[in-house]
Chain A
Amino acid sequence: QQQVKQSPQSLIVQKGGISIINCAYENTAFDYFPWYQQFPGKGPALLIAIRPDVSEKKEGRFTISFNKSAKQFSLHIMDSQPGDSATYFCAASRGSTLGRLYFGRGTQLTVWP
């Protein structure tokens, strides 16, 4: 059973557009929700993360929106650039498990000029 469900599997966005990736979870004990960016042949890089006590967090062009009641969270990439083309993973964890991350299946984002 997959703990975190991510959609879409792939996303194509025009340069300057908004990229939106969605994730949903079932376990209400999760209390940390990070997003990772991965380029081919590289390890994932922590992009942005949120705790459930806030509904939104913004860092530069990246924003996480969090809906606790719906058990959903999403990543918005504003003014998408070709350099943002990568695979994005959402994840969730709970403190009592020493940080074990449960990953979504990933979204392959392509930003075309």
Chain B
Amino acid sequence: GAVVSQHPSWVICKSGTSVKIECRSLDFQATTMFWYRQFPKQSLMLMATSNEGSKATYEQGVEKDKFLINHASLTLSTLTVTSAHPEDSSFYICSARVPPGYEQFFGPGTRLTVL
């Protein structure tokens, strides 16, 4: 299947700092990428849908100013958690849809811990 990478795989930061997570499609061009958040032993919660060259579409309840998403190219989307707080600690996962079909592949995830 197609390969999606994420960087970093884990990050620890102090409260109040900003953290950027990168999501890359390595062997295909992804016009649409998705960002999820997952708490322990729970399902994936969609945060936003990112389309190349346009503004991201956020799910209800997700703070746009806190979770900044940029999809600047067909192979890269970034999620920036601004002014992170301990409650933002979670497992963040991106996925990318392989056009023109329906298949969607996930990155390995980024574990964010805010102290």
Contact = CB atoms under 8 A, between A and B. Distances in A.
Contact of B32 (A43, A98, A103, A106): A98
Main secondary structure of the interface of A (DSSP, over half): loop
A101 B1 contact: no
Nearest to B9: A41
Contact of A43 (B42, B43, B97, B109): B109
Interface residues of B, number: 25
Contacts of B111: 41
Contacts of A98: 32, 49, 51, 97
B109 A93 contact: no
A51 B101 CA distance: 11
Interface in B34-49: 34, 41-44, 46, 49
B108 A43 contact: yes
Contact of A42 (B49, B95, B97, B108): B108
Interface string A72-110: 000000000000000001000101001111011110100
B44 A103 contact: yes
A104 B44 CA distance: 9
A104 B43 contact: yes
Interface string A39-76: 00111111001010000000000000000000000000
Contacts of B43: 89, 103-106
Interface string B16-33: 000000000000000010
Nearest to A93: B102
12 contacts: A42-B108, A43-B93, A43-B106, A43-B107, A43-B109, A44-B93, A46-B1, A49-B102, A51-B102, A98-B49, A104-B43, A105-B43
Interface of B: 1, 4, 6, 32, 34, 41-44, 46, 49, 51, 91, 93, 95, 97, 102-109, 111
